[in-house]
Every structure is written in structure tokens, then in C-alpha cells.
Structure 1
Amino acid sequence: MERDLNELLEYIDPSTLSYQEWINVGMALKHEGYAASDWDRWSSNDSRYHPGECYKKWDTFNEGALSIVTGGTIVKMAKEHGWMSRPKKEDYELNWDSTINDEQVIVDKDWIEGQTINEPRRWSPARQIIKYLETLFDSTDIVGYVTRTWKKDDKYLPTKGNFKETAGDIISRLANCNDDIGSVFGDYKEEAGAWIRFNPLDGKGVNNANVTEFRYALVESDTIEIEKQNAIIRELELPVACLVHSGKKSLHAIVKIEAADYYEYKKRVDFLYMICKKNGLDVDTQNKNPSRLSRMPGVIRNGHKQFLVDTNIGKSSWDEWKEWIESVNDDLPEPESLNDFWNDMPELATPLIDGVLRQGHKMLLAGPSKAGKSFALIELCIAIAEGNDWLGFKCAKGKVMYVNLELDRASCLHRFKDVYNALGLTPNSLSNIDIWNLRGKSIPMDKLAPKLIRRASKKNYIAIIIDPIYKVITGDENSADQMANFCNQFDKICNELGTAVIYCHHHSKGQQGSKRSMDRASGSGVFARDPDALLDLIELDLNDDVYKYMRNDAACKCCVDYIKAHNSALLDELSQDDVLSQSVMIEFCKSKLGRKYYQELDGLINRAREHVTSVTAWRIEGTLREFAKFSPVNLYFDYPVHTVDKTGVLNDIDPDDVKPLWKKAKEARKSPEEKKNERMKALETAYEALKIDGEVTIKALEEYFTLSTNAVRKRVDEHPDFTRKGGIVLRKE
């Protein structure tokens, strides 16, 4: 079991269990490796308890029974009695055995000077206790205290004591006791002193389960002089509600914990004790329990006073103190004077992508589906590895890691080879590309980052590309604070490795063209505002004129490539304008290559023209922190690579969803001439289809078009190639 079953037992009152349930608890403890003393200690809270009985029963538990009753039995009982499972992650998941480092060290214990503590000149036991109670409790809080003791090995030990009275009742009686506190609490032995519990109880017992509010914790240390204890407590600015002299060699600091529940109480006390230990106050860890007894002020102990040294010292609350502690020894740099560097400025990081991104910085590539974002990032990997251009931007050459979170291993490797081939590059620097395939094994980014750092620490990568980030997002992508924490993981990678981190993310749903580039990425605006460079892809709506140009360009390229392959000398006969006209190139090839070759070329040209319809166009815009904004770059995505439009044909095209409605409607409307031509073509098609059955009649055309007689007659009359005779439609000679 990962949980401490002793802590869960605090929620289970043994007096409420049946005999068999009590036995099951013992068997579960033995199964999980606990000691008989743990069972005995817990069982002693029951009036049915008999000393030694637990140990006898313990020896009778055999292996067969233990395999059935496990720690889960205790977990189930604890849940039934109010315990709730908590997440493991906590702001300060620390305990007494945590590793001690140099952070949060405030006090130099070798140089700390003690602060003298003076006993009160006027001794009023009642006023001492009243002030203590008024500081720690509300009038309706039930307070536990102990004045009766029992002796063991020459040491006085407290009994369970009283746990039925409210603070208000006790204060009222103390105010009228003429400092005879024995008349209020009962007489105590001066050899032993008296105790009081610093957290309110429910009036039913004195265990942790009986604590109603987890307000305070006890800090006590007797390993150094009491004056130094006083100095350290004050130097640490512990949020102390009451500081009590124990009457011997220690101070009891009642520290404000202000926890919501027992789980939070434990974590805060662990953090508190850890800070104390780091700073020379070796705290007694047996005092962790919220139901713990502390020394009662206003009491004599072996001839010495137990007295209230001070109240409400240090920080005013737990939250204020913790924030202060964490800020004292943070790892943030100190402010610098600009004057010190004005004439000796540090060098800027070398550009990784010229005009876009520096080495050691972060970049986000955002875009919708089908934009080929993954292919663009693979192209970037290759550009960095080979020291080539990427989308028209020059890249530095170096090692790059591609973290693949989406593709299976084989598909990813094939993609890299396909992109290399499509780019027409010779793979001279494959050793510069490392691929970390994590499909099916991805974990949240806060867990992935340290694993990535460990693997990359000695590889000298100048870029790490993570594709895509939705696989590793930690938290709600619409939450600004959670996404800020998520993006901090990229900073951690950059800082630890000195590498650039590049990642991609998808657009939000809906139209994007009218948005600014930095507002298109899905989720919180943190995504767009965190990286040093944001490149955003948005699709361009290709019209008939562009497709006509692209078909012309494809045909010309086919002709040029074919001539190069079969008779490159012919290219000398072509002018610069010739190679840009498909009609000129086709006629040239017909006349120069011969019928046999031209027929083959004609097939290639037709396939190239058809392929044009599968090509999409995109515009990439940038929001940059380190460089001036660049002009939008227009691209074609011709699977599997992007190519820059160097002709400018895409410059005037707006994304489809950025066009106003009136412009869309206007583009959708056809001119009267276009509509007339469509009607004529439709009539010709209908006439040829109906001619198969013999004469074409007006009636047959009515049924074909589902139009009225007059509408059909009008169509026939406006067509120059048709006439009608009676109810028959005839083609003119």
C-alpha cells in the first residue's frame, strides 16, 4: 500500500466496529507489513480494550486468511468514516525525510545570536491562560486540557484529560477564580506541570479524528539553547499565534497552519518542519499530530513557570509566511543596472531561422487540419540538418530532435524519406536528425520535459521539435494559468539544454481569416503570447484564374522536363517567354520531338493538369518578438511538401472566410451572358439525349427540364441552332 494505514486509522473509531471488523483491521495491518503495536495503539481507544489481547490475536493470523484481508479493507472503512482520497500532487509534497538543499535557508545557525527571554514580573496564572485561550479559540470552541498525570519510569505522563468544555466557559470561570486555576482545571502536580490542546475538539475524544478545525501546529525543539530557539523562531518570521515557555529547556510555538482538512494539515506541517530543520531548529517530529498536547501557560513546573512569552508574532497568516519563505531564497537573478552594460552589450543568440527565431528560443506553428503542419515541421528538421532554406528562410545547420507523438514509427520514418525525395535533396546529414517515437507512450508535458532533458543533455541539439502538442497538454487548454504552467515546460527545456523548442498546435473551430494570426490557435491566448515566434497558416481560396495559371505552369514544366530528358539542346531555341506559354511549348514539342514522343508527353501533360486540383494554397504570417514582422509568405502544399509561390499569383487572394458577404454573393452571381450560355448548352444536351427516341417535342423538353411550355419555347427560340414547327423541335440546317 502506498498510503500510511496508521493515518487512515485515525478516521476509524474502534468502538463503532464489530468484533469481526476489529479482527479484519488487525489482519489487514499484518498483511501490509505493519507491527502488532500499531493495532494495539489504535485499539486502546476502545473501552473494550484489554492489554495484551492484540498481541495474542496477532500470532494466530495465518497466511491463508491474510491473503484475503488486505490494506484495502482499512481504506474502505476509512472512506465510510469520512476520509477522502486526495491527489498526490501538492504545492509542497515534502516530508521529514526530504533531501535538504540550500534553498529556503534564511538563518545562519553558526552566527545566530540568542534573544533573552524574561519571566513575567507580575505573575497572574489566570490572565496568562485567558490570553492564550482568547488568542487561539472562539468562545464556542471545545478545548482539551490535562492536569492529571500518571508516572512511568520516573516520568510524569498526561492522561486523556478533559475535552468537554468551551473556551468561553473556561475564560468566564478563570476571570472569577482569583488566580486559583486549580478551582477551574483541577489541581495539578507542580513536578509535572499541565497541558492544553491547541486545536478545537468535537467533545467526543482527543484523537486526530476529534479535531474540528486544523488551525495550529506545534513547533518545539530542545536541542539548542532556548534563547537561540527564540531568535530562530523570530528570524524565520513563523506565523506564531502563541509562544509559550515550557518551564524547562524549550519553547512551544503554536504556529498558524489554517488547513482545510487533515490532508492539507499534514502537508503544511511537513513543509513547516522542513523549513525549521534547514534553519537550525531541529523540531521534535512527535509533535506533528493536530490533537497534540502543548504546555499550558500560567502553570508552575518543577519550580519554573510555564508562561506566555508572546502572541501573534511573525507573519500574519500561513499563506503570507509561505509566500515570503519561497521568495527569500528564490533562484531569480538580481536586477541589473543598464549603465553597467550600455557600452558592452551581451551578444544576441545566433539566429536559428533568419528573421524569425533565435537559438534557445520558442516557436509555435499554428494552422488548421490539412495544412500539412507535420510535413512543414519535417521540412524544417531537414532544413536545419542540411543547413538549407525553409519556406524561404535560411536556417542554421546543426543537430535536431523530432519528437513524434502522433505517427507510428514506420510511417514517421517513411515521411522523412518522402519529404527528402520530394525536395530533391541529397541526404548528406542524416546523422543530424534524431527521431523520438512516442506514439501511444506520450505523457503530460510536465512529466515528459525532465525525461526529454535527460535524453538530450549530451546531444547538443540546436532545435527540438514537438509534434503535436495536444498529445501532451497538461490541464485545460482554455485555462490561462494551467496553460502558462504548460508552456513553462518549454522554457525549462530551452534553459536546461540551450536549444530552441518548436511545436505545432491546431486552430480553434470556426472562421479564422478575419482573426489576427495570434488569436487563431485553439485554447487560451497564452499559446500565442508565450512563444518568441508564432507562425500561422491559413488557407487561400483558389479561383478559376489561379487554377488556369497553375495548369498552364504544370504543362510548361512537363514540356521543359521532357525536352531536358530527350534533347536538351532544343532548349536553346526557346525564349524566356516561350517556356511560360503552354500553347507555344506544346506546338514546339509537336514539331521538334515527333509524333511518338509527343503522344507520351501529352499523357504526362494531362496528368499534370489533373494533379493541379489536389494542390492547396496557404499564407503564412508571423508574430515575432525578436525580429521585425515579415511580409506574408504564400505557399502551395503539393503533398508531401510546401513550395513558396515566387510568381506572386497568390498575393491578391484573400482567405475565403475573410471576404465580406457582399463580395461572396457577387462572385457567386453570374452575368446574363453566362446564364444564357448555360441555357443554350443545356438545351443542346437535352436535344441530343431525347433524339435517341425519335423526334424531340416541346412536351418532352418540358418533362426533361420540369419547366412550363412557354419557358421551353422561349429557350428554343433564343437558340440560334434550333427552330420549332408545331410541337416539334428541329435543328436548323
Structure 2
Amino acid sequence: MEHKLDLIALLAYIDPAQLTYQEWLSVGMALKYEGYTAADWDNWSKRDPARYHPGECFKKWTTFEGAGTPVTGATITQMAKDNGWVPRSDRDGRELGWDDEIAGDYVVVDKNWIEGKEIHEPAVWNPVQQLTTYLQTLFEASENVGYVTESWQDDDGKYLPTKGAWDRTAGELIELLHMCEGDIGAVLGDYNPAAGAWIRFNPLDGKGVKNENVTEFRYALVESDTMDIEKQHAIMRELELPIAVLVYSGGKSLHAIVRVEAANYDEYRKRVDYLYNVCKKNGLNIDNQNRNPSRLSRMPGVERNGKKQFIVDTNIGKASWAEWHEWIEGINDDLPDPESLANYWDNMPSLAPPLIEGVLRQGHKMLMAGPSKAGKSFALIELSIAIAEGERWLGWKCTQGRVLYVNLELDSASALDRFKSVYQALGLEPRNIDKIDIWNLRGKSVPMDKLAPKLIRRAAKKGYIAVIIDPIYKVLTGDENSADQMAHFTNQFDKIATELGASVIYCHHHSKGAQGGKKSMDRASGSGVFARDPDALIDLVELDVTEDLLKQEENKAVCAAYQQLFEKFNPDYLDEHVSQDDLLSARAMEDHAKRAIPAHLNAAQESIKQAVKSVRIRTAWRVEGTLREYPKFEPINMWFQYPIHKVDEVGSLKDIEPEGEAPAWKKAAEKRKSSAQKERRSKAEQFEDAVNNCNFGEPPTVKDVVEWFGKSGKEVSERTVRDWIKKYGYALQDGLIVKDDGADHD
């Protein structure tokens, strides 16, 4: 079912009314091969009411059995491409090609409900007026016009134009037409009434009729000769194409001369690509051969095989390309309209139910950030289990439901082993392991913008209330320090959450360096988008555990180990002889063990050794957070003892500071200490400078030093100088100040 959503979406580009019977059957075969239902085929077939027969799809469906060369979803993909669909990835990172289409919906017209709009010949036939109006609408008087009146027949009997003329201006032609008394052949040359005549809609340089001879890339030709004239007309008007002149060809089509107003040939091509794409997506099957700016169109004011080529209308739709382009983009922006608060004030919509009580709602996003040794993956596995079992996670109650864990880092066996190990360490019975799905993608991961639609397809009908992606660096697209690139990246999580109605939870690493002095929102590596995008940010920062605390924890672990041994081998002794104080003393419990379980002392020693080891390999962490939907929570302290995290219920860690952070009073004391040290260093340096210089390099007297400081503007007394002598490592010898060498001096 990997392609299901794609194929259903692609059917929107395929009109069953335009298909042959065999092509219609091929669509049904492809749908069945790809795992769809007859109802999918039937719903699409209803778009052709003229040929649709209730129940026919279901009868045919049963006859589609396996074949040597099956019809696959590729058939539907190609049909969609032929009708204007283009995969976005086909053009990412390169220039548009001549046959490229522009991605996007841009659907304005409902092809199933559009009503035809008739065209009418002019009540009075005036060929001169027809051609004059055409020239005045499209050209400046000084611009050269290309036209063709001579034709020839190919082997199939089809009339084709010659190169024609291109050396006269619109002004010259209009003037001659006014003087020709209705005989336009006298101006342009006689044409074959079986073939009609042609004219070029962009001005030329008077030197030829190729694309390089076009001087202004002003107009493009929109023509479709594969559908009803009235329907063509209706769609063109419904699309509000900026049509300068609309001409009936005298055959099977209308020729719309559409304003594109391009500055150069490259821009012309891109705008025509865009124009044709919009027309195709709205049911107008464009002839791609008409793209060229030097293309010929049908000349109004002449006859063709008994039918008149005439102007249907001029200056219809939007007034310019810019106005039309803005309108098309605006009408297809897929954004909701603004809503009045008054509509909801007395009937407010229900908030999304919580997934993690007090932290995250269902359908919202959560980021867990922390350094590599924080056990983030284990924490997310713990969360998966808590959701499946309806248990608590880091102290918060979780809503029970199905969860998808997207494993991007571990091989399948390791991932499964971790889940089982965490279940066992938590002491939980695996009653609801059927609610946990693991998607193992190690070695198969793709960038997030490619992964998101694949994930949505697989999860669409599974009923997940949470999707956990671990870790995101495996699917990161772009520069993590770029705000706009990371906004695009995180938008993929929005798509998953919106399409599935599930919470999306993912983890990211901290930036380098100590994190204790930073706010939780500033610790995640890369752009601030990471921290500001999710609805809940859970941040882990390591605590700087002291040796004293570790010894306390060792004591607790040893006592707990002895207590378990007593409960196993001599529970009566535990009840009768061990006091509450003894239960808290490792030394007392050891003495009791020698009396109560002497035969098991070897086992006890091994248990004690393991208990001490388990404490020594622990790390301590503080959980902080920033929430969008709930009030800020008090920091949670916990131990990470492989493979699970345990909340510090007794408060052992409450006064421990994160690495790199100290309390304000301690910072102030250290600052004062540092300032005092600098001041002492400064005075010592000043005194040394005075001793070395005040007597021209010879050992000075106390009086010499006093006078030196006085000259520098700092008055000091002899007593102060004598204090400095002793304080800064000097001595008096024969009344002179010298470096103290440890000998006796006077």
C-alpha cells in the first residue's frame, strides 16, 4: 500500500471522459495490482457520467487476474504526467526545461461542472475591421508584423503555411486596410479560402520569422483542438486568462492570444510553462507545439473551408500577466479564511486531549534535547512503553494508545533488545506490546521531506496517537544553523501531525560546551528554530554529582542489597532484630549479615559489589522544559542507571548544580576572590616596580620607596611600606630593601 495516497491523488489529473475503453480498464487493473479497492475505481469512474454504469466496475474487478505482464501503478503515473502532473523532485535544484511543468495545484475550474459558453459570428461581416482590430490591439504602429496568406498541401491533404511576409509595420498595414475598400487580399495577398490565413502575434525585427527575430515577448498562444469549442471558451473565461484577443480558428479550436509580458526569451519560456500548466490542470488540453514566441496563429477576417475566422472578444480576463499570476497564486494558497472570534465565543472547540499530562497534547510536537550521554534514546523507548501501557513517564501520566517508534540508528536486533531490556528494568508486564510498532530504517533512511509522505502513507490507518523519531540527525536536511532551512525541515513534523492526528516526538543534541549556565531553549544545537518550533521542549542537563553524594547513594544501595538478602534467606531476623536506623547504615547491615546469614556471606559480598558498581556508573540529570500549552513545570531530577531513568523521589539531587553552573552567592564569592587576587597582584607589581626603580636600580631605603609613591600621586606611609616588605617577599638588610633569601636580616 506504499503508493496508495499518491495514486488516488494522481487520478485527479486523469479525466475518464477523455480515455478510451482500454485505457479506462488499464486504470482499474493498475489500481487492483497496487492493492486498491473496486470502490476507488468506481468513485473515479463516476466523473464520466455519460459512460458510467453503476456496478460495472465491481463486475470487471473480479475478472482482473494475474497476468504475465501486469498493468502497474506506473500506468496511472504516466497518464497523470501526460495531463500536467509533475513530481516536485523532478525539478529540484535545476533550471526549468522546455517540456517541464510547474508543480502546484492551481485548480480553479471544476471540469465536471463547467458549462459550455457559446461563440457567435459577427452580425455584420467586415474583414477589414476584424484584422484592423487585431493589429491595433496587439501591436504598436511601428512594430513589424509577420503574416502568411500562401499555403501548400502535404501528402495527407492538410494545408500548411509558408514563411509569408514580415517586412511591414502594423501602422502601414492598418493604413492600407483603410484604403482597400474591403479587399484585404489587395493588402496582404490573396489567400486560399480552403486553407485560410495566418498571422504572428508577437512583433518581429523585419529580418525573419524565427524566435531570434521576435523583438517583444509580449503574448503566448493558448489553443486546444481536442475538446468542445464551447467548453474551451468557458474554461478560458473561468480561468480569467489575460487574453488580449480571442479568435475562432474556423476549425476545432479557439486561439487565445494571452498576455505574458516577458522581459526576454528565458522569462517567456518560464511564463509559458506556468501558463500551460495551469490550463492543463483546469481541463484545457494545450497543444505544446504552440510554445514558440514566433508561432503563427489564425488571422481574423478571412474564411477557411466555408467558415469564418473571427474575433470572439478582446481584452477579457485579468488586465495583465502580473494581475493574473497574483490571482492564481492567491486562489490556490490552500490557507483558511480568517474567522471571527464571535463565532466561537459561546461554543469554544474542544482542546486536543493530553498525551503526556501537563506537558503535551495529542497531535502536537515535542523535542527532547540533551547531550549524547543522557540516554535520550532510552528515554524515548521508555516513553513508547509508557504510552502503550498507559503508565507514567518521568513522573507524568501518559494516555494509552498505539505508538510508532521510527528507529533510524540501531539495527533491528539491537532495537528489539533495547525495548525488552527497558521493559524488564521498569518491572512492567508486556501486556500491550501489540500497541508498539517499530519501523527499522537503519541504512534506509531518506531526508525528512522524503520520509514524511512515506511515513504518512504507512501510518494513515493505524490509529497511532504518537510517532517517535529517533534520532533526527539521520534525516536532517540543510544546514542546522540556517533558520529558513530548519523551518522547512521542522514543517515536515507539522505535516505528519496534521495528517495523522498524532503527536510527533523527536530528539536532538546539545551544542558543544557546558550547558548549565544556559536557558533550556538555548541548549539545542543549531538554529533557534529547533527550540521554538515544538509545542513542548524537554531538555536534559547533566548534574555535577559530588563525591559525598555518591557515598550516600552507595550506602543506600548497600543497605537495600542487604535487605533483599535478609528477606530471601532470613526474613524473621529482619523483622525482629533490625531497627529502622540499622536499615539506613551499611556498617550496621553488614554486622547483622554476619549473624543472620553467615552461610550466604559470599553471595552478599557479590551483591554489595554490584550495588556499589551500579551507583558508580550512574549519571544524574535535571529535566527542564518550555511548554506552549501548559504552565511551566518545576525541574525534575533523575538518575540514569542503564538502561532506564529513575526520578529522584527523595530529593537527593535537588541542591546539585548542573555542570558549568554555580549558585549566585557562589559566583559572587568567586568574583570577589578573583578581584582580591587581582588587587593583590597589582600592589605586589607596583611595589616591585618601586623597589627596582626608585634608587636607579640599587637597593632602596624605606624612605626612597615612600618618596617614589609620593611622586606618582599615591601617598603611602613608612609603616605601609614596611608591611609590604614582609608581605611581598622582601627584607631589610642594613637599612636597604632586598629580596628575602631566607637568611636572618636586621
TM-score by length of 1: 0.66
Distance 1:272 1:150 in 2: 35
2:360 to 346, 357, 371: 357
Give the 5 Å matches for 1:9-408.
87=91, 103-105=107-109, 110-111=114-115, 123=129, 128-129=134-135, 131-134=137-140, 145-152=147-154, 156-161=159-164, 170=169, 179=178, 187=189, 189=191, 191=193, 194-198=197-201, 216-221=219-224, 232-244=235-247, 246=249, 251-257=254-260, 258=262, 260=266, 264=270, 267-277=273-283, 281=284, 283-284=286-287, 286-296=289-299, 309-311=313-315, 313-314=317-318, 316-317=320-321, 321-322=324-325, 324-325=327-328, 327-328=330-331, 338-408=341-411
Distance, in Å, in 1 between the alignment partners of 2:659 and 2:221 is: 68
1:392 is displaced (CA, Å) by 0.8
Q: 1:116 to 1:304 in 2, by over 3 A?
A: closer
Provide the rounded CA distance (Å) in 2 between the counterparts of 1:581 and 1:669.
41
Residue 404 of structure 1, CA deviation: 0.8
Alpha-carbon distance in 2 for matches of 1:203, 1:88:
39
Q: Which amino acid aligns with 1:502?
A: I
Quote the sequence identity (%).
55
Q: Which runs of 5 or more residues in structure 2 are unaligned?
A: 1-88, 675-746
Between the aligned partners of 1:184 and 1:656, the Cα distance in structure 2 is 96
Over 3 Å counting, the alpha-carbon distance change for 1:349 and 1:660 in structure 2 is: closer
The answer to whether the 8 Å contact 1:115/1:228 transfers is no
Equivalent residue runs for 1:527-546 within 5 Å: 527-546=530-549
Instruction: Decide whether the 8 Å contact of 1:92 with 1:271 is kept in 2.
Output: no
Matched, 1:467 2:470: yes
Aligned-residue offset at 1:537: 1.6
Shift of the alpha carbon at 1:405? 0.8
Residue-by-residue CA offset, 1:286-328 (whole Å, 9 max, x unaligned): 534454322356878789575594348416336x545533553
Aligned-residue offset at 1:569? 3.3
Distance 1:263 1:453 in 2: 36
Q: Say if 2:636 is the partner of 1:630.
A: no
One-letter amino acid of the structure 2 residue matched with residue 493 of structure 1: I
For the structure 1 residues 668 and 529, does the alpha-carbon distance in structure 2 shift closer, same or farther, using more than 3 Å as the test?
closer
- Report what 1:559 is aligned to: 562
Cα contact 2:242–2:321 (8 A) shared by 1: yes
Task: Assess, with a 3 A threshold, how the Cα gap between structure 1 residues 638 and 333 changes in structure 2: closer, same or farther.
Answer: same
Are the counterparts in 2 of residues 478 and 523 from structure 1 also a CA contact under 8 Å? yes
Contact 2:470–2:506 under 8 Å retained in 1:
yes
Residue aligning to 2:583:
579
Distance across 1 between alignment mates of 2:253 and 2:370:
65
Secondary structure class of the residue paired with 1:428:
coil
User: What amino acid does structure 2 have at the position aligned with 1:314?
Assistant: K
One-letter identity of the residue aligned with 1:538: V
Distance 1:342 1:209 in 2: 64
SS at match of 1:459: coil
Structure 2 match to 1:642 = 645
State the secondary structure of the residue aligned to 2:169. helix
Alignment match, 1:619? 622
Query: Does residue 496 of structure 1 match 2:499?
Result: yes
Tell me, yes or no, if the aligned pair for 1:220 and 1:251 is still in contact at 8 Å.
Answer: yes
CA distance in 2, matches of 1:212, 1:640: 74
Query: What is the alpha-carbon root mean square deviation over aligned residues?
Result: 4.9
Match of 1:414 in 2: 417
Q: TM-score, normalised by structure 2?
A: 0.65
Residue deviations 1:197-229 (CA, integer Å, cap 9, x gap): 446789997667987987643112467887875
Aligned equivalents of 2:117, 2:132: Cα separation in 1: 33
- 1:504-551 deviation line (CA, Å, top 9, x unaligned): 222234443344323333334333333322212222222333333333
Aligned-pair CA distance for 1:117: 8.4
Change (3 A) 1:284 1:592: same
Relative to 1, partners in 2 of residues 1:576 and 1:265: Cα closer, same or farther, differing over 3 Å?
Answer: farther
Shift of 1:411: 1.2
Structure 1's 86 and 652: CA in aligned 2 closer, same or farther, altered over 3 A? same
Name which of structure 1's ranges 237-246 and 254-263 shifts more when overlaid on structure 2. 254-263
Q: Report the AA paired with residue 187 of structure 1.
A: G
In 2, Cα distance between the equivalents of 1:357 and 1:512? Answer: 24
Shift of the alpha carbon at 1:410?
Answer: 1.4
Q: What is the CA–CA distance in structure 2 between the aligned matches of 1:90 and 1:394, rounded to whole Å?
A: 50
Alpha-carbon offset, residue 244 of structure 1: 4.7
Shift of 1:629: 1.8
Q: Are the structure 2 counterparts of residues 551 and 255 from structure 1 closer, same or farther at C-alpha, using a change threshold of 3 Å?
A: farther
The answer on whether the counterparts of 1:126 and 1:298 sit within 8 Å (CA) in structure 2 is no
State whether residues 185 and 191 of structure 2, in contact with CA within 8 Å, keep that contact through their aligned partners in structure 1. Answer: no
Counterpart AA for 2:555: N
Contact 1:555/1:605 (8 A) holds in 2: yes
Distance 1:250 1:575, change over 3 A: same
- Structure 2: how far apart are the matches of 1:463 and 1:275? 36
Distance change in 2, residues 1:212/1:358 (3 Å) = farther
Q: Structure 1 stretch 445-454 or stretch 262-271: which is displaced more?
A: 262-271
CA distance in 1: counterparts of 2:234 and 2:94, whole angstroms: 30
SS at match of 1:536: strand
Which residue does 1:724 correspond to in 2?
none
161 and 618 in structure 1: CA distance in 2 versus 1, 3 angstrom threshold:
farther
Say whether the 8 Å CA contact 1:208–1:289 is kept in structure 2: yes
Aligned equivalents of 1:311, 1:215: Cα separation in 2: 14
Change (3 A) 1:456 1:232: closer
Q: Secondary structure at the match of 2:538?
A: strand
Matched to 1:361, the amino acid is H
Unaligned runs of 5+ in 1: 1-84, 672-733
